[in-house]
Structure 1
Amino acid sequence: MKKYILLIITNILFFSLHSQTSIRDQDYVDTATTMVWTHANFSYQIPFGDGYLARTFGNNFNVGTGIIVKPRSNWTIEGYFNYMFGSDVILPDTLVLGSMINHNGDLFDENGLKATIYLEGRYWSFGVGIGKIIPINKWKNSGIWIKGGVGYLGHKIFITDPDNSVPQLDRETYRKGYDQRSSGVMLSQFIGYVYMHKKRVKSFYIGIELNEIWSKADRNYSFMLGNTQNLPFQFSGLVGVKAGWIIPLYEKQRVVKFYTN
């Protein structure tokens, strides 16, 4: 895992430096300015740890957005929201649906026919963060971006009964008793590269993100867990590659210099 992450960071830095070569050769200098931007991001995450999230779900996809304020000092302050989907449920079906699953691993609907039920992991998170962009050349709004944050993350088993044929999974009554919804505090760290193109709408960032989550069941009762009020918080983590497209909203008038011989 460590070798994999190191290789990704090395490639990110190489790509970022290479992407600026043609413009840097023209002696273009982008001075640090006050900026506000929003962004659309995508990441692929791998769970780890022994907590509810890590024991229940496989790898996931994550999409998100947020607002970031960057003064001339290159500190960044942000608020964000993320939605995670596409995660397989790795718990055995019997630990999700209990006695509805027979000894052959099948589930039958109200007509006595084999039912098709889909289980998927869903997460959502929001929070705030602070970071710093460290320029490594004359592009003072670009550079190594290091940041950390604190927020809230919730996760649950999303249960789909496409034919609505299993009464025990009725959406309005019993389904919530099986979704094992949990939530808790999340800490996050990110290291990567942010590239501010002179045409700001062409800007982006990419890097590695690490999340630490302490979650517990937040419904009072679960059909599989019983009374959940005294269950402890448990630790799970998420690590993955994250990339985002930067959409500028505001920039204080900047000074752009061109050096000539």
Structure 2
Amino acid sequence: MKKIVFIIIFLSITYFTFGQKLVDSTKTLSLIAHYSFDFPALDMKDRYGNNNGVGAELSYKTSKNVLFALNYTYLFGNNIKIEDSIFKGISTSDGFIIDQNGMYAEVFCYERGFSVIAKAGYQFQLPTKYYSGIQVMGGGGFLQHKIRIENRENVAPQILGDYAKGYDYLRNGPAGYLYVGYVFHANQKIIKFTAGFDCLFAFTQSRRDYLFPIQGPDKGTHFDMIYGFKFG
């Protein structure tokens, strides 16, 4: 997580270095860090609770207010709805895993994932002296998510290494994306703010040959969705 924070800070500094043209210029190039708070829906809500996203976006606006952007978002959360049932086959009647020392193992589950989206759209300028407007964008790309399993001191071999892959429910697949938001850019090179609503939806499939909780592979196709509020 420290590495992710460092990357976001670095990208924010890079954004200032890139700078922006002033309001009297209609073409702009931006590299900016962003944060989102998201809600899962459809098949994804059966497994995860609310999550967070941090990332970076490189965008370009033409003189005709047409937008092009490339976005990367790292997804993370700690609300796993199926946590109590994941290790049912290797747990005691009380729901604990016994480690190699004969003690109750400390096991933690987290949501982890990422998305890469290419998008395009249009900016509707507002009649103000500042470079501001309403942005509407759509696009497509890739979504991946899984359950990250951690065991303190790594003393529970039954959920470590390749065994962990049998419990992590790794899924990924092609994704679509929609965004509606507001952008404010004062007539200074370093002042910019964006806020809006976005929705990411994807057709995902399991990438594990065998999942221990269901005693076999997951061969179905899932319709996953996350939506929420994005700030940058």
Q: Please, which of 70, 74, 77 is the counterpart of residue 79 of structure 1?
A: 70
Identity %: 26
Determine if contact 1:31/1:140 at 8 Å carries over to the other structure: no
After superposition, give the CA deviation of every residue in 1:18-49 in whole Å (9 maximum; x if it has no partner).
xxxxxxxxxxx934511111110001001111
Q: Please, which of 62, 71, 79 is the counterpart of residue 88 of structure 1?
A: 79
TM-score for both structures, normalised by structure 1: 0.76
Q: What is the match of residue 37 of structure 2?
A: 44
After superposition, give the CA deviation of every residue in 1:110-138 in whole Å (9 maximum; x if it has no partner).
11111110000111110200011101214
Other structure's SS at 1:224 match: helix
Q: Please, which of 145, 149, 155 is the counterpart of residue 139 of structure 2?
A: 149
Q: Please, which of 4, 19, 26 is the counterpart of residue 33 of structure 1?
A: 26
Measured at CA, do residues 139 and 224 of structure 1 come closer, stay the same or move farther in structure 2, by a change above 3 Å? Answer: farther
Q: What is the match of residue 13 of structure 2?
A: none
Larger radius of gyration: 1
- In angstroms, what is the RMSD of aligned CA positions? 1.7
Q: What is the match of residue 230 of structure 2?
A: 242
Query: How many corresponding residue pairs?
Result: 211
Distance (Å, rounded) in 2 between the aligned partners of 1:117 and 1:143: 47
Query: Unmatched 5+ residue regions in structure 1?
Result: 1-28, 245-261
Superposed counterparts of 1:1-261, under 5 Å:
30-31=23-24, 33-49=26-42, 51=43, 53-94=44-85, 96-139=86-129, 141-171=131-161, 173-228=162-217, 231-244=219-232
TM-score for both structures, normalised by structure 2: 0.85
Determine if contact 2:167/2:212 at 8 Å carries over to the other structure: yes
Distance (Å, rounded) in 1 between the aligned partners of 2:76 and 2:113: 7
Deviation at 1:58, TM superposition (A): 0.6
Q: What is the match of residue 9 of structure 2?
A: none
Distance (Å, rounded) in 2 between the aligned partners of 1:221 and 1:99: 14
Query: Unmatched 5+ residue regions in structure 2?
Result: 1-21
